[in-house]
Amino acid sequence: MNIKEFTVKQSTGFALKVKSWKCLSPADLNSIEFINESYNDDGEITHLSTYNFFMTDDEIKTLCEGMLK
């Protein structure tokens, strides 16, 4: 499985990361995870939330176009 991962935003107390990969079937379906991490003053994770969405290639394209307007 080819998992793509990148950090959208990283600051002292917060990070937003994204992981995505292709589902086995149907071919145009993707699994996307948005991972929200909160850190204390020592840099330790104090809160972690993961939101998973299944989106087609066309839905991802629409999402990206909408965010860049």
Positive/negative CA dihedral, 10, 21, 58, 36 = negative
Question: Given this model, what pLDDT does residue 39 score?
Answer: 96
Question: Given this model, what pLDDT does residue 1 score?
Answer: 75
Going residue by residue through the chain, which has 69 residues, state the pLDDT in tens, using 9 for 90 and above: 799 999 999 999 999 999 999 999 998 999 999 999 999 999 999 999 999 999 999 999 999 999 998
The residues facing 26 across adjacent strands are none
Ordered domains of the chain (ranges, CATH):
4-67 (3.10.450)
- Whose tokens are 């330790």? That residue is 44
